[in-house]
Amino acid sequence: MGAQHTVTEVAAAVDATRLAADGVSVGYGARTVIEDLDVAIPSGVVTTIIGPNGCGKSTLLRTLSRLLKPTRGTVVLDGDDIGRLRTRDVAKKLGLLPQAPVAPEGLTVADLVARGRHPHQSWLRQWSSDDAAVVERALAMTGVSDLGDRPVDSLSGGQRQRVWISMTLAQGTDLLLLDEPTTYLDLAHAIDVLDLVDDLHESGCTVVMVLHDLNLATRYSDNLVVMKEGSILAQGHPRDVITAELLHEAFGLRAMVIDDPVGDRPLIVPIGRAHVQLP
Amino acid sequence: MTYVHMGTTALERPTSRGTTQARRRRVVGLSTLVVLLVIAGAVSLAVGARALSPADVWHGLFAAPDSDQRLTEIRLIVQTVRVPRTVLAIVAGIALGVGGALIQGYTRNPIADTGLLGVNTGASFAVVAAIALFGFDDPFQYVWFAFLGAAAAGVVVFGLASIGRGAGNPLTLALAGQGVAVFLAAMTTAVALGDKESLNALRFWNAGSVAGVGFDVIWPVTGFIVVGLVLAVTTLPAINLLNLGDDVARGLGVNIALSRTVGIAAITLLAGAATAACGPIAFLGLMVAHVARYLTGPDYRWLVPYAGLLGAVILLACDIVGRLVVRPSELDVGVLVALLGAPFFAVLVWRGKFKSA
Amino acid sequence: MSGKDLRPSGPDIQPDGAEVRPNRQDTRPAMTPGVRLGTVSFVWRPWNVLITVLLAAAAFLVFCLSIGIGDFPIGLDQVLATLLGRGEQVDEFVIMDLRMPRALAGLVVGIALGVSGAITQSVARNPLASPDILGITGGASAVAVFLVTVSGGTAAAVVNAVGLSAAALAGGLGTGLLVYFLAWRRGIDGFRLILIGISVSAVMEAITTWLLATADIRDVARAQAWLVGSLDGRSWDEVRVAIWGTLVLLVVVGGVSFQFKPLHLGDDVAAGLGVRYTRVRAVLLLCAVLLAGVAVSAAGPVPFVALVAPQVAMRLVRCPTPPIVASGVVGALLLIGADLVARTALPIGLPVGVVTAAIGGPFLVYLLVRANLR
């Protein structure tokens, strides 16, 4: 297991932690993917988990959101063992957007977002006026109010992701977990979605994402968790964590790290064999 | 193009020693099956309502006619009863085994059976229609209708499954097949309920039997089956590639539409001919395909021959048991294949021998 | 999208590039209306409710027509009067003792098949899915054919004691349990369950075939009619089983239905919304299988209703997923309508299964062609 690099304090962050994993081991059948891992997700910031294929980042996110049960250790949400809480109670605190979600053909945007109210509803109380108000607000927050009657499958990729995020917002949680929300989107739409995620974070949400694209992760997160082979290699603000050495250790990647010309974060420039002219 | 050495974890080609071992194992397996088949065939000639010794069987097959009463009887039994049913069981068993393996290969569906193409119900419907309309009562007369019905059903199902976007989609084939099969089954019942002779014939036909069929039927049926086998053999390499996905197969030069058409034609010929001669024998193709895959792995060039031989051995074995169990009468082979084969298959499933697809 | 401004887009930019003026309240689509009474509230979908009510009315109409038909024709007005308890005595006898069981069986079996099909298609997310994976149909058929074709003390005693339906149901359930336990090995694996279900069904079919081949020809006709799906000769004993079974199961389905809605969004999303999907799915599938079992015991394996009813209901009600209530109503209408046709429109009386197959087969082809030519 890789040594833990220094955990740096995250700038402008609240030091409260709502979600944490404590000595967690997770596996599929006989195969252990994550072994004895500790991580604390700071509140009020955007945390992104990155790492090479198969390092367990999706597994970690799924464990944090209770989709997977750890074989050892606990996940703690607001001080409680998440495994002991009722599923509905977890759903009221934690909103999850899985990879590549699929909506049935013909389902409208309004209906999909309305489903997000499910944890707050019951058999007798299936559509209260509160529900309607929250859904309207959720639609407005992601800017898809005018798409309410459109079928979800007729929208573009970026709009669809915004609608799904709207659904998780309708759950009324301020803790959002997003599993690769931009992987199937072209760059313009990916930026669009991540800008929206940043807006949400500005309004007080805590966000945990798994991202594939290193540069997007660097630009849009305040806290990076770098994983390799089932354990955490480094954690902290991108400026402190992203170095050429780390990239080589975690990804086997030769790269140069420079200052992003349009931002205040590091920019990763990969170095391969072809078409590179090293200074 | 420079080759970058990836270190000691580079992909290694399977050693030629490993491949030869596998091939040798398969050849041994195949030979074993052939030997089993010969033994089963010999047993089939000897066994029945009247048990015959090996000497009797030999005499029955090869001796010249003479005036000995008992030997004449034996010759009669062997040549007109035992030999035809043994040959038919072998031929039909091969056809159904190969057909079952092929349809699982083409539909990539581990629960596909030749009945999926509506072959069984097409044949049944044609039989009752022929009897109701023309009043046939001799199997020889309606076997041709059965074959035509089976072939027509296969063509219709395949045609439906080839429309537009769904072309070649295994799900579409299953959906179309199920629809046609259920529809035809209901229509068959409708006709049979209106005509007593066809109802009577239908219920015997449904039981599936290799008895009572003479060489006047067996030779033509064998002819069709041989054609089907030839077609099948030509498509075997294509099936291996199709199982990697349509796009990959196309990229490797497979003409998907052509090989699918040839494949379905082969299945229809094989299953149609076998069903026309014996009646519907369900489950054999499915079971044999899984067992064969367990023995040979997913290479269809080996899987299909294994499936064919297994089918023949099992069908013959069931026929033999059917003659022994309620002697002097007999249990129809179609019933026995399910009664014996299904539990055996279930045990294998329970022990986890079969993975999906 | 071409021409898209690379400035950070967001709530300001509409898909076609035009800018949205904020808070245009009057042109925003109305939120889904709700029906509220105190703290109790439900979604109000007017079109859905209207169509379902119309279909139910149609089913009731066909039900009354069906009752009126027979050797002793009874007019519609008299049927209604009798149902309300104000009919003449002779009408009452004919209707209540002779005709009602059959018509009621048609309604109930139709509902059971429609709901079962809707659940199965929703849970499996596959319009081909059939609720018969546990081999219940095969088991029920084998028992029914056995009782019809085997004469003799035990068979007759069983039929007299509990009725053909109950016995067939017991046979079907027994087979289902057998399959379940045979497939259980440190838990249930879906693939193993299906293969064992097929194996057991094959055995049951073989037994049925053999029974038919060795039976008296007169019994064979009755058995064959049962096997294609038939409402002939249903008595109150048999219908009672169907009615009670269906009612109980519908209550269970109704209770779970609320948890069911997010399942269409996928397992992960449903879990994220607080639904324990494995449990909900298992309960629902069990209900679907049992409903199908009850239907088969009462009317035999009627083809296509479980497949067609949800698809038709989905399109009529304009719902993206098979709607449970509407599917039940469509199933009832379909079955009882088919029975009416089977008894009147055809020169010889044929079992209802023949008509549902005649309708269902082409409909399936239509679905296929439509889906693939899109």
What's the pLDDT tens digit per position in C323-351?
999 999 999 999 999 999 988 887 777 89
- Whether C38 and chain A come into contact, CB under 8 Å, resolves to no
Query: Looking at chain A, which subunits does it touch, using at least 3 CB pairs closer than 8 Å as the criterion?
Result: C
Nearest by CB: A118 against C10, C44, C262: C262
Does the residue C21 lie in any domain?
A: no
* Domain span including residue C248: 46-373
Nearest-CA distance A127 → chain C (Å): 5
Cβ-based contacts of C262 with chain A (< 8 Å): 115, 118
Would the CB atoms of C372 and B166 count as touching at under 8 Å?
Answer: yes
Does the residue C5 lie in any domain?
A: no
In this prediction, residue B6 carries a pLDDT of 37
Residue C151 has pLDDT above 80, yes or no: no
Cβ-based contacts of B183 with chain C (< 8 Å): 303, 357-358, 360-361
Report the pLDDT averaged over residues A127-144. 89
Would the CB atoms of C199 and B349 count as touching at under 8 Å?
Answer: yes
In this prediction, residue C24 carries a pLDDT of 38
Q: What angle do CA C335, C336, C337 make, to 5 degrees?
A: 90
Three-state DSSP class for A39? strand
Residue C15 has pLDDT above 80, yes or no: no
Residue C118 has pLDDT above 80, yes or no: yes
Does the residue C154 lie in any domain?
A: yes
Dist CA A238 CA A222 (whole Å):
7
Would you state the structure tokens that stand for residue C292, as one six-digit string?
């199908």
Reported residue count of chain B is 357
Would the CB atoms of C255 and A148 count as touching at under 8 Å?
Answer: no
In this prediction, residue B356 carries a pLDDT of 53
Instruction: Give A14-93+174-188+204-273's CATH code, choosing from 3.40.50.300, 3.90.550.10, 3.40.50.720, 2.60.40.420.
Output: 3.40.50.300
Q: Which residue of C has its CA nearest to B186?
A: C354
Q: For residue range B11-33, what is the model confidence (pLDDT) as tens digits? A: 444 444 567 888 888 899 999 99
Digit-by-digit pLDDT tens for chain B (357 residues) are 333 333 333 344 444 456 788 888 889 999 999 999 999 998 888 887 777 888 778 777 777 777 777 777 787 888 888 889 999 999 999 999 999 999 988 887 777 888 777 888 999 999 999 888 887 777 777 888 899 999 999 889 888 887 766 566 667 777 788 888 889 999 999 999 888 888 888 888 888 888 888 888 899 999 999 999 999 999 998 998 888 888 888 888 888 888 888 998 999 999 999 999 998 998 899 999 999 988 888 889 999 999 999 999 999 999 999 888 887 778 888 899 999 888 888 888 887 777 554
Does the residue C4 lie in any domain?
A: no
Q: What angle do CA B259, B260, B261 make, to 5 degrees?
A: 90
Cβ-based contacts of C8 with chain A (< 8 Å): 191-192, 195
Round the CA-based radius of gyration of chain B to a whole number and report it.
22
In this prediction, residue A4 carries a pLDDT of 39
Round the CA-based radius of gyration of chain A to a whole number and report it.
19
In this prediction, residue B18 carries a pLDDT of 60
Strand A223-228 vs strand A46-50: parallel, antiparallel, or unpaired?
A: parallel
C324-344 and C236-260 helices cross at what angle (nearest 10)? 150
Tell the residue number behind the tokens 């949800």, with chain if given: C310
Would the CB atoms of C269 and A96 count as touching at under 8 Å?
Answer: yes
Tell which residue, B137, B160, B156, has the closest CA to residue B148.
Answer: B156
Amino acid at A79: G
Of the residues B128, B182, B198, B325, the best mutation for testing chain C's interface (the one with the most C CB atoms within 10 Å of its CB) is B182
Q: For residue range A209-260, what is the model confidence (pLDDT) as tens digits? A: 999 999 999 999 999 999 999 999 999 999 999 999 999 999 999 999 999 9
Asked if residues B184 and B121 have their Cβ atoms less than 8 Å apart, the reply is yes
Cβ-based contacts of B172 with chain C (< 8 Å): 368, 372
- Whether B330 and chain C come into contact, CB under 8 Å, resolves to no
Tell which residue, C344, C348, C234, has the closest CA to residue B192.
Answer: C348
Tell which residue, B224, B79, C312, C41, has the closest CA to residue A123.
Answer: C41
Three-state DSSP class for A24? strand
Would the CB atoms of A65 and C42 count as touching at under 8 Å?
Answer: no
Would the CB atoms of B187 and C358 count as touching at under 8 Å?
Answer: yes
Residue C132 has pLDDT above 90, yes or no: no
For residue B318, what are the CA distances in angstroms to B41, B101, B208, B334, C207?
A: 12, 20, 12, 8, 15
Q: What angle do CA C248, C249, C254 make, to 5 degrees?
A: 100
Residue C8 has pLDDT above 60, yes or no: no
Tell which residue, C263, C277, C267, has the closest CA to residue A87.
Answer: C277
Dist CA B136 CA B130 (whole Å):
7
**Which run of H or of E encompasses A36?**
strand A31-42
- Whether C28 and chain A come into contact, CB under 8 Å, resolves to yes
Interchain CB contacts (distance < 8 Å): B and C: 168
Asked if residues C326 and C297 have their Cβ atoms less than 8 Å apart, the reply is no
Does the residue C40 lie in any domain?
A: no
Dist CA C309 CA C58 (whole Å):
15
Answer with the residue of higher pLDDT: C91 or A2.
C91
Nearest-CA distance B325 → chain C (Å): 14
What part of B 134-163 touches C (C-beta under 8 Å)?
Answer: 160-161, 163
- Whether B286 and chain C come into contact, CB under 8 Å, resolves to yes
Domain-wise residue ranges, chain A:
14-93+174-188+204-273, 97-172
Amino acid at C112: A
C352-373 and B170-194 helices cross at what angle (nearest 10)? 160
Cβ-based contacts of C275 with chain A (< 8 Å): 87, 118
In this prediction, residue A247 carries a pLDDT of 94
Q: Total structural domains in chain C?
A: 1
Cβ-based contacts of C194 with chain B (< 8 Å): 111
In this prediction, residue C307 carries a pLDDT of 87
What part of B 2-21 touches C (C-beta under 8 Å)?
Answer: none
Question: How large is the greatest C-alpha to C-alpha distance in chain C, in angstroms?
Answer: 87
Asked if residues C238 and C295 have their Cβ atoms less than 8 Å apart, the reply is no
Question: How large is the greatest C-alpha to C-alpha distance in chain B, in angstroms?
Answer: 85
In this prediction, residue A40 carries a pLDDT of 93
In this prediction, residue C374 carries a pLDDT of 63
In this prediction, residue B102 carries a pLDDT of 93
Residue C80 has pLDDT above 90, yes or no: no
Would you state the structure tokens that stand for residue C58, as one six-digit string?
């149609």
| Portion of chain A with pLDDT greater than 90, in percent | 55
What part of C 317-336 touches A (C-beta under 8 Å)?
Answer: 318-321
Q: Which residue of B has its CA nearest to C358?
A: B183
Nearest by CB: A101 against C36, C269, C275: C269
Tell which residue, C132, C325, C71, C355, has the closest CA to residue C231.
Answer: C355
Q: Centre a 10 Å sphere on the Cβ of residue C273 and count the other Cβ atoms it contains.
A: 29
In this prediction, residue B351 carries a pLDDT of 79
Would the CB atoms of A90 and C11 count as touching at under 8 Å?
Answer: no
Residue C3 has pLDDT above 50, yes or no: no
Nearest by CB: B338 against C205, C229, C369: C205
Nearest-CA distance C242 → chain B (Å): 23
Residue A3 has pLDDT above 50, yes or no: no
Residue C273 has pLDDT above 50, yes or no: yes
- Whether C273 and chain A come into contact, CB under 8 Å, resolves to yes
Dist CA B353 CA B290 (whole Å):
9
Report the pLDDT averaged over residues A139-162. 89
Cβ-based contacts of A118 with chain C (< 8 Å): 261-262, 273-275
Asked if residues C260 and C284 have their Cβ atoms less than 8 Å apart, the reply is yes
- Convert chain B into a string of H (helix), E (strand) and C (coil): CCCCCCCCCCCCCCCHHHHHHHHHHHHHHHHHHHHHHHHHHHHHHHCCCCCCCHHHHHHHHHCCCCCCHHHHHHHHHHHHHHHHHHHHHHHHHHHHHHHHHHHHHHHCCCCCCHHHHCHHHHHHHHHHHHHHHHCCCCHHHHHHHHHHHHHHHHHHHHHHHCCHHHCCCHHHHHHHHHHHHHHHHHHHHHHHHHCHHHHHHHHHHHHCCCCCCCHHHHHHHHHHHHHHHHHHHHHHHHHHHHCCCHHHHHHCCCCHHHHHHHHHHHHHHHHHHHHHHHCCCCCHHHHHHHHHHHHHCCCHHHHHHHHHHHHHHHHHHHHHHHHHHCCCCCCCHHHHHHHHHHHHHHHHHHCCCCCCC
Query: Looking at chain C, which subunits does it touch, using at least 3 CB pairs closer than 8 Å as the criterion?
Result: A, B
**Which run of H or of E encompasses A88?**
helix A87-93
* CATH code: domain of residue C287: 1.10.3470.10
Dist CA B179 CA B191 (whole Å):
19
Per-residue confidence at A100, pLDDT binned at 50, 70, 90?
Answer: confident
- Which of these ranges, A93-97, C3-7, C237-241, C333-337, has the smallest mean pLDDT? C3-7
For residue A87, what are the CA distances in angstroms to B89, C272, C275, C276, C362?
A: 59, 8, 7, 7, 45
pTM for the model stands at: 0.81
Residue C70 has pLDDT above 60, yes or no: yes
Report the pLDDT averaged over residues C49-58. 92
Of the residues C126, C148, C203, the best mutation for testing chain B's interface (the one with the most B CB atoms within 10 Å of its CB) is C203
Domains recognised in chain B with CATH numbers: 86-350 (1.10.3470.10)
| Portion of chain C with pLDDT greater than 90, in percent | 24
C190-214 and B333-350 helices cross at what angle (nearest 10)? 160
In this prediction, residue C356 carries a pLDDT of 93
Amino acid at A141: M
In this prediction, residue B166 carries a pLDDT of 57
